[in-house]
Amino acid sequence: MTMIVRNLQLVRDRITTACVAAGRDPASVRLLAVSKTFGADAVIDAMSDGQRAFGENYIQEGVEKILAVRAWEADGLRSPSFRASEWHCIGPIQSNKTRLVAEHFDWVQSVDRLKIAQRLSEQRPPHLPPLQICLQVNIDGGPTKSGVAPQEALALAAEVAGLPGLQLRGLMSIPEPAPDFIASCAVHQKAADLFDHINRAGTLPQPMDTLSMGMTADLEAAIHAGSTMVRVGTAIFGGR
């Protein structure tokens, strides 16, 4: 058993324990393995243990890794159209990088401006399924964090949901580190409340189903507050 496989099993155990403590079904929380700065070999190692969803912060590095992993997948199956791995862009996106994201990623969790969403919509190749979108929300007003302000999220969600080639799935947040479990639960609960508020507003063609929050240090608190996807890097791949 490799270190990555062992770490994956430990993280899955943490997710299960947190879900049981919160009275939730462990199947209601997806694990996104954040593979930034680690090579395609590390991703393939994780895939050997059934992990399929991977998150990348750096677009160029991510695209190179996606191409390498998909070439490996196609070689193994003799089918260049096979796409078992699922790739999430979770880092900031500049306008000059939207085409790379639209052409190679399956999800984008870091949309916080209509302009970026419009470019992704225009540049998504028509032969690919819709790009799955989460809006990044600066839920606690962190001065160094990206994200749409909570009070502007409903309007942005309605606009993004109407763009062709995209499917709005939910919200993503990266709050500042909290001093303890209770404080962490409280800030994550703000994102969960905003998620529910947007869904109840009735302005979307279909309800959002994804609340992406929680990382290595705070996944238990995020799950307690209702996260449906946790983004874990260090606890799987090791320190960077």
Residue 84: the pLDDT is: 85
Residue 77: the pLDDT is: 58
- C-alpha 194: how far from its chain's center? 17
Contacts of 189 (CB under 8 A, 6+ apart): 225, 226
In 3D space, the residue among 29, 13, 26 whose CA is nearest the CA of residue 230 turns out to be 29
pLDDT less than 70: residues of the chain: 77-83
Contact by Cβ (8 Å): 66, 101:
no
Q: Give the CA dihedral 70, 76, 5, 212, nearest 10 degrees.
A: 30
Tokens 């960077």 sit on residue:
240
Residue 148: the pLDDT is: 97
Residue 82: the pLDDT is: 46
Residue 83: the pLDDT is: 54
Task: Considering only CA atoms, give the Rg of the chain.
Answer: 17
What pTM value is reported for the model?
Answer: 0.95
Residue 145: the pLDDT is: 81
Residue 78: the pLDDT is: 47
Q: DSSP alpha helices (H): ranges in 179-218?
A: 181-201
Structural domains in the chain, sorted by start: 3-237 (3.20.20.10)
Residues 43-73 pLDDT 10s = 999 999 999 999 999 999 999 999 999 999 8
